[in-house]
Amino acid sequence: MNVIDVLNGEARKEHVPEFRPGDTVKVYSKVVEGGKERVQMFEGVVTVHKGGGASESITVRRVAHGVGVDKTFLVHSPRVERIELTKRGIVRRSRLYYLSERIGKAARIKEKKAAK
C-alpha cells in the first residue's frame, strides 16, 4: 500500500453525513480568538462538493444581513468539529454558482420530503 494512501486513511473522519449540493447543512468549526478557542456554527446551502478522500471540501453559502457569504470547509479537517444535515434539496446541477445572482425567494431550493 502507498504511503500517501495510509496517511489519507488516517486523516479521514468516520462520522460524516452523506450530503450533496443543494442540501442545507450546519458546519460547526473551531475558531481561535486571542488565546481562546470556541465552536462557531455556519448554516447554509452546499453549493460545491469537491474532491474525495482526505482532501474533500465543500462550499457553503448563506445570506447574512443582505450580503451573500461563501465559506469553504475541508470536510476532514481537525478544525471542523461536526457537520449536521438539516434539509435535503432537489437540484439538477453539481455546482450551484447561479445562486449568487439570485436574491430572496428566487434563491430558494425545493426541499425533498422524507419518506415514511
pTM, two decimals, is 0.86
From residue 87, give the alpha-carbon distance in Å to each of 11, 48, 49, 79: 27, 16, 16, 23
Tell me, what amino acid is at 81?
E
Q: How far apart (Å, rounded) are the C-alpha atoms in residues 43 and 28?
A: 9
Q: Give, for 73, the enclosing helix (H) or strand (E).
A: strand 67-74
Q: Name which CATH class applies to 3-102.
A: mainly beta
pLDDT digits 0-9 by tens, 21-67: 999 999 999 999 999 999 999 999 999 999 888 889 999 999 989 89
Q: What is the pLDDT of residues 98-114, one digit of tens each?
A: 999 988 889 889 998 87
- In angstroms, the CA 41 to CA 31 distance is 10
Question: What residues does each domain of the chain span?
Answer: 3-102
